[in-house]
Structure 1
Amino acid sequence: MTRIERPFDITRFEDEWLEADGFGGFASGTVGTLRTRRYHALLLTATHAPGGRVVLVNGVEAWLEADGARYPLTMQRYVPDVLYPDLAANMLAFDTQPWPTWRLQFDSQTLITAEVFVSKATRETVLRWRCKCTSAASPTRALTLKVRPLLSGRDYHALHHENAAFNFSAQTSDDASRTSWQPYGDLPRIHVATNGVYTHAPDWYRNFCYVRERERGLDFSEDLATPGVFGFNLAEGEAVMILSASDAIGANASATRHAAELADIERQRRSALGTRLQRSADAYVVARNEGRTILAGFPWFTDWGRDTFIAMRGLLIASGRLDEAEAILLEWSGTLSEGMLPNRFPDSGDTPEYNAVDASLWFIVAVHDYLATQHASAETRVHLQHAAEAILAGYTRGTRFNIKASSEDGLLSAGVPGVQLTWMDAKVGDRVVTPRIGKPVEVQALWINALRIAARWNPQWQSAAGCALQAFHERFVEPSTQTLFDNIDVDHVKGATDRSVRPNQIFAVGGLPFPLLEGAAARAVVDQVEAQLLTPLGLRTLAPSDPAYRGHYGGAPSERDGAYHQGTVWPWLLGPFVEAWLRVHGDAADTGQQARQQARTRFLDPLYAHLDCAGLDHISELADGDAPHAPAGTPFQAWSLGELLRIETLLAGLNRTVA
């Protein structure tokens, strides 16, 4: 868990928390309660899981009225950069376990505890406030909590502005415990259950400033509507507000009792998940159709093929969540087309995009890890094996974007101008930043691994695997360093090579079931990657000595995309690196335990420290290539956390998969 206490470092106010609902929706915000992103919200729901996400309740303006004084419980930032009110002096502590919880001290008599969580059982967001008064407080002291919900009703990528179409009308139940609004007719109705009293008082709050959006070179100001105010008497007990996009909200129970029941269920569910990392991992596993999938990251990613199959190895398989792993593999296997699995599903609609050479191969690796657990039924095993062989057959024949096994050397060739097929997929306008057309090194490692995996149940693939492996050894070694080229037959020109020092070569030694290199050859790769690419938060995507290196990830979209794979650090790559490092340094029985301990201290401890900043209890998508390696990208990234879990399991000697 992450716990922050006074003396409160104001820089921690913008660290972020996440509460996911298991269907693509979520609540998120910051330690300081102010919203810094367009995605920060209390009720953000997926209209067709996990896509079609819309923001309904962005936040609240909350304050306490006592003895004629007004004490703020939330903080806002307005354009150009005005913080009001300021909670810094009143914040005592913030904790992420069992869910985001704040403690605020005002006068000498009053301590307020506020908390928020999302119930996975019902997709409701629960907010609760309690007051603990000292013995010196008067028993008749009036303590009134006021809460103004701040609403929009927009796509989660968009921003909202004052307009005449917003419908402020409220519907209230006969007992006044339920209130609802429908700002726009094509969006879900917003339902609120409370133990407070609602007063209709429509207004607009204007010019909220989202600094993370401004840093990203995007529009960053928003207007929000507030239809009214809820009042609660904290002297009589806790205040409860439950938000939902469903009219089934606490149908037959008081808000107080319903919130308590949801809290008990959610506390038990989280406790059963196990470790801190496993509790965080649960956020990414969501529904798709009748099956399951993995969101690549919060707040803005949907489910991507390669991300899903890479992340699930740690999030699910290494963690023993095998039923969910099976459901995801079966769900995705149904999308097979021309030997390919989708690169991603869009935010809206269900038409997938088939533009990745590696996603299908990562699927076969995930199938290998899953089947090695012996969890699958005979029927499921056969189904997944057939899916894997359909991919290999499609790639052997040839499929979209010139993806085809070469008849000359058996290696996998891929690529057409203007399309990014590998995981280094940034594009600025019509320019692919790292096109890598030809035979990229990690694609060969995946291809050969996929062939060897399938050969374990069907020997017909053994010959192709052997041929490709021999060609790999003959063609990928860079003579002057004995390391590996990043790409050969560049732009489909035979013999053309890319000598860029990138992390992709590490997959020839670690990160996959079958290493392609051993001994001195493996050591050369690991040593080069360690010397030129390793940082505390992961591997750089390009060596700093390269003229194309970009050490900072930031600015407008074109600047960020231009740096995405040109030096920017990716934490997920630490997983294959640590595995490769262990294969080089820890093979011998007398050094294995010592190497594992050294690896944990050197490589994992910085990631564990990172759990307490940026996206709390999670690992960021990116970091700057230059020191101090500031985190960037999404603060909650599935494969970053998944690879940490996978390597932690490996170091603990509990690896559930067998090569």
Structure 2
Amino acid sequence: MSVHFGRETTGDLSIAEKKEWIITNGIGGYGSGSIAGSITRGYHGLMVASLHPPIDRKLMLTKLDEVLIYRNTAYDLTTNRWDSGSVSPKGYRNIESFTLERSIPCWRYACADAVFEKRLWMVHGKNTTYVSYTLVSAEEPVSLKVSALVNNRTFHNTGQVPWPIEVDSISDGVKITTHDNDALPLTIKMQGATVSPKNELYKNFYLPVEVTRGLNSNDTHVHAADFEVTIQQGQTVLFLGTAEEDTDFDLTAYDNKKQQETAILDQWQQLRKSQKKEQPNWVKQLVLAADQFVVNRSTEPNSTAGKSIIAGYHWFGDWGRDTMISLPGLTLSTGRHEDAGPILETFSHYINEGMLPNRFPNAADTPEYNTIDATLWFFQAIRTYFETTEDKELLGRLYPKLQEIIDWHIKGTRYGIQVDPNDNLLRGGQDGIQLTWMDAKVGDKVITPRIGKPIEVNALWYNALKAMVLFADILEKPSNQYKTMAASTKKGFERFWNEEKGYCFDVLDGPNGNEALLRPNQLFVVSLPESPLSTKQQKQIVDICSETLLTSHGLRSLANFEQEYIGIYTGNQYQRDSAYHQGTVWGWLIGPFIHAHLKIYKNTYSAQRFLKPFKDHLQGDGLGTISEIFDGDAPFTPKGCVAQAWSVGQILQVYDEIENLEIIQNTELTPKLAII
């Protein structure tokens, strides 16, 4: 579709190792690596299984080291970096091309006149990875030798490989078990291969990306088995890695995966209001990327009926704030209404003291509630869901919970979150607790505490009250209370306007008074459906953000003229988190910016221009998807997670808005103006 590289990329290890593919299984599991064939992060592996979907993830099948024998010559197909500084083998030299076939990574190797292809994918709903090997053309059969490297540690690189393990021979492969009672066995098999069980440690894999992040850059894995098979021209051989009880080869697995992708794209295409017969390939790629974040989450034991959204790959789980912000784009803009409703209901089960969970820890279902805004984004997600689906039944079921949330915020809930009766604004915060989306914390130190009355929180609070008026009217419930509260909040919101600077304070009534740092948070005053400020003030906000915060890949979290600004996101955890919201660019903020810009200027050409760099970014670090963050300084190098839900979701949502506005304006883009 949108991602393809030839030897100019695959043959340069310094470039190829920075381009990462990802595959997922819809339950929180994933596979990922570099197109060079090397592992550059502790999070890389062919199968990271989710033991309790969508969390409790374990790296199980790390990688396959392959050697192709053709006409008595051995060709390495894999690459490994070692702690000694050496690179051996150097299989990247034999990669003729890499293509992301929709969401399936495909390597093409040229070995003399033999052309050989490898593809890999995961089975939806199962901790199962397939690797297919196809001999496209050759003058005679080839022999393929595969060494399987495995593990069974948490997906965070602890450096602690489970050892010893048991490797037992089975038909076509081996079954690997550890002495950890909570671990699942791993079965690896290869069609028609001779199998030689092994059981030895491979130490000192070097992980260059972890060096830049100040994390453990050395890893150890277990060489569990060797496979050897002869492949004829035109023949495909499957390799299977699974943590499931059913270990039989599914010969329809590849076709099933392609059909799943086609169904996702067809569902999205049917939703288009535009008369275009063919949508842009890069947007189609993002629709497929959206699918990678939507996962099952049970709300009851042995149930998979619930749904959630993984915030980002590789290390994030499902977060309340990220889920609600990304839900409209990932599900409603893609036609997946049947997933949107269950996501909202799943999170509603965890509302406690009027608060939505901030996140679910990796190995437990006990949620954490340190968030002041996730609950308010819940209102916006429900509003967008109802406007899209007119699902009055679900709105009726959720309405009592929304009433409960409002009541708790009035009387006060955790972390000092409560409406201030003096100005009817929402305040919150306490020392050592991070509550807003700017939530970096190292040890006991919160980098951007924002204690007091953050501006985006109060824009959300005002919109939550206005949404309650809308919901009450739809459900024929009393709404006067919410109308009165919304009017009072609008009046109190006037305090945010900083007349001297011509834009808004970021936080009111903090420990040191009002905070006047120029941040993108005031954009939500414009981008959300209801604004408590005048049109003139809204325009000033959009203009100052355009001038000082806008970049090619999102908005800076702090203006670069502020003393606290940090332009490069790098170093150990403390250094990185110190820059996280102090200038680092966030991809997801392009959504609120474009929403706001369209509201003020209604200029679809400018909006498309803001999106255009993301088309190119699909061939950047996380292939076919959008990164979490970027350096605040040019050239805005991608950092953080290579695939982030709200980055993808916000772009899909504003793409819809641009297209719909064009239809309303009854204009069509000329080829010169089209960004596709």
Q: What TM-score results when the alignment is normalised by the length of structure 1?
A: 0.92
1:477-509 Cα deviation digits (max 9, x unpaired): 111232100011112x7xx21110000011111
Q: Distance in 2 between matches of 1:337 and 1:523?
A: 38
Deviation of 1:170 after TM superposition, in Å, equals 1.5
Q: Distance in 2 between matches of 1:549 and 1:41?
A: 36
Amino acid at match of 1:106: C
Q: Which of 521, 535, 539 does residue 523 from structure 1 map onto? A: 539
2:177 aligned with 1:182: yes
Q: Distance in 2 between matches of 1:521 and 1:629?
A: 29
Deviation of 1:159 after TM superposition, in Å, equals 3.5
Amino acid at match of 1:624: D
The aligned counterpart of 1:245 is 243
The aligned counterpart of 1:650 is 657
Instruction: Tell whether the 8 Å contact from 2:165 to 2:199 is kept in structure 1 after alignment.
Output: no
* Secondary structure of 2:533's aligned partner: coil
Equivalences for residues 489-568 of structure 1 within 5 A: 489-491=509-511, 496-510=513-527, 512-568=528-584
2:597 aligned with 1:581: yes
Deviation of 1:654 after TM superposition, in Å, equals 7.5
The aligned counterpart of 2:671 is none
The aligned counterpart of 2:270 is none
Instruction: Tell whether the 8 Å contact from 2:417 to 2:426 is kept in structure 1 after alignment.
Output: yes
Q: Distance in 2 between matches of 1:273 and 1:654?
A: 24
After superposition, the Cα gap between the structure-2 partners of 1:428 and 1:200, relative to the gap in structure 1 and judged at 3 Å, is: closer
Q: RMSD in angstroms over aligned alpha carbons?
A: 1.7
Q: Distance in 1 between matches of 2:570 and 2:126?
A: 38
The aligned counterpart of 1:467 is 488
Amino acid at match of 2:99: D
1:444-483 Cα deviation digits (max 9, x unpaired): 100000000001213320110011111112x111112321
Structure 2 segments unaligned to the other structure (5+ residues): 266-283, 299-304, 473-478, 664-676
Q: Distance in 2 between matches of 1:189 and 1:205?
A: 20
Q: Distance in 2 between matches of 1:227 and 1:334?
A: 43
Q: Distance in 2 between matches of 1:161 and 1:207?
A: 12
The aligned counterpart of 1:590 is none
The aligned counterpart of 1:314 is 329
Deviation of 1:178 after TM superposition, in Å, equals 4.5
Query: Which moves more between the two structures, 604-613 or 443-452?
Result: 604-613
Deviation of 1:146 after TM superposition, in Å, equals 0.5
The aligned counterpart of 1:481 is 501
The aligned counterpart of 1:171 is 169
Instruction: Tell whether the 8 Å contact from 1:649 to 1:655 is kept in structure 2 after alignment.
Output: no
Instruction: Tell whether the 8 Å contact from 2:604 to 2:661 is kept in structure 1 after alignment.
Output: no
1:546-568 Cα deviation digits (max 9, x unpaired): 11100000100000010000000
Deviation of 1:215 after TM superposition, in Å, equals 1.1
Instruction: Tell whether the 8 Å contact from 1:233 to 1:239 is kept in structure 2 after alignment.
Output: no
After superposition, the Cα gap between the structure-2 partners of 1:200 and 1:12, relative to the gap in structure 1 and judged at 3 Å, is: closer
Deviation of 1:82 after TM superposition, in Å, equals 2.1
Amino acid at match of 1:182: T
* Secondary structure of 2:497's aligned partner: coil
Deviation of 1:123 after TM superposition, in Å, equals 3.5
1:312-363 Cα deviation digits (max 9, x unpaired): 0110122221111100100100111111111111001111111100010000
Q: Distance in 1 between matches of 2:331 and 2:464?
A: 20
After superposition, the Cα gap between the structure-2 partners of 1:221 and 1:470, relative to the gap in structure 1 and judged at 3 Å, is: same
Q: Distance in 2 between matches of 1:460 and 1:301?
A: 39
1:150-205 Cα deviation digits (max 9, x unpaired): 01110111344577x32242231xxx234311134421111123211211233322
Query: Which moves more between the two structures, 421-430 or 77-86?
Result: 77-86
Query: Which moves more between the two structures, 32-41 or 67-76?
Result: 67-76
Q: Distance in 1 between matches of 2:416 and 2:158?
A: 40
The aligned counterpart of 2:281 is none
Q: Distance in 1 between matches of 2:373 and 2:157?
A: 31
How many residues end up aligned between the 2 structures?
Answer: 624
Q: Distance in 1 between matches of 2:480 and 2:337?
A: 27
2:127 aligned with 1:127: no
* Secondary structure of 1:266's aligned partner: helix
Q: Which of 63, 67, 71 does residue 63 from structure 1 map onto? A: 67
2:167 aligned with 1:204: no
Q: Distance in 1 between matches of 2:519 and 2:635?
A: 20
2:321 aligned with 1:300: no
The aligned counterpart of 2:48 is 44
Equivalences for residues 20-31 of structure 1 within 5 A: 20-31=24-35
Structure 1 segments unaligned to the other structure (5+ residues): 587-594
Amino acid at match of 2:508: I
Q: Which of 273, 280, 293 does residue 289 from structure 2 map onto? A: 280
Instruction: Tell whether the 8 Å contact from 1:26 to 1:43 is kept in structure 2 after alignment.
Output: yes
Q: What TM-score results when the alignment is normalised by the length of structure 2?
A: 0.90
Q: Distance in 1 between matches of 2:288 and 2:262?
A: 8
Amino acid at match of 1:640: S
Q: Distance in 2 between matches of 1:305 and 1:393?
A: 20
Q: Distance in 2 between matches of 1:29 and 1:652?
A: 35
Query: Which moves more between the two structures, 338-347 or 185-194?
Result: 185-194
Q: Distance in 2 between matches of 1:281 and 1:332?
A: 19
Instruction: Tell whether the 8 Å contact from 1:34 to 1:76 is kept in structure 2 after alignment.
Output: yes
Q: Which of 112, 115, 122 does residue 119 from structure 2 map onto? A: 115
Equivalences for residues 114-513 of structure 1 within 5 A: 114-134=118-138, 137=139, 141-160=140-159, 165-172=163-170, 176-186=171-181, 187-195=183-191, 196-235=193-232, 237-250=235-248, 255=249, 258-259=250-251, 261-274=252-265, 275-289=284-298, 290-378=305-393, 380-456=394-470, 457=472, 458-473=479-494, 475-491=495-511, 496-510=513-527, 512-513=528-529
1:112-167 Cα deviation digits (max 9, x unpaired): 10111111154421101112334xx2xxx45210111101110111344577x322
Amino acid at match of 1:222: D
Instruction: Tell whether the 8 Å contact from 1:318 to 1:655 is kept in structure 2 after alignment.
Output: no
Amino acid at match of 1:300: W
Amino acid at match of 1:74: T
* Secondary structure of 2:498's aligned partner: coil
Q: Distance in 2 between matches of 1:632 and 1:348?
A: 26
Q: Which of 107, 113, 120 does residue 102 from structure 1 map onto? A: 107
Instruction: Tell whether the 8 Å contact from 1:8 to 1:92 is kept in structure 2 after alignment.
Output: no
The aligned counterpart of 1:89 is 93
After superposition, the Cα gap between the structure-2 partners of 1:264 and 1:34, relative to the gap in structure 1 and judged at 3 Å, is: same
The aligned counterpart of 1:589 is none
The aligned counterpart of 1:636 is 643
2:601 aligned with 1:600: no
Q: Distance in 1 between matches of 2:180 and 2:536?
A: 66
Amino acid at match of 1:155: T
Q: Which of 12, 18, 21 does residue 17 from structure 1 map onto? A: 21
Q: Distance in 2 between matches of 1:122 and 1:95?
A: 25
Q: Distance in 1 between matches of 2:623 and 2:57?
A: 23
Q: Distance in 2 between matches of 1:655 and 1:383?
A: 35
Q: Distance in 2 between matches of 1:462 and 1:429?
A: 42
After superposition, the Cα gap between the structure-2 partners of 1:80 and 1:215, relative to the gap in structure 1 and judged at 3 Å, is: farther
Instruction: Tell whether the 8 Å contact from 1:483 to 1:524 is kept in structure 2 after alignment.
Output: yes
After superposition, the Cα gap between the structure-2 partners of 1:439 and 1:27, relative to the gap in structure 1 and judged at 3 Å, is: same
Q: Distance in 2 between matches of 1:312 and 1:121?
A: 20
Deviation of 1:513 after TM superposition, in Å, equals 1.8
Q: Distance in 1 between matches of 2:94 and 2:189?
A: 28
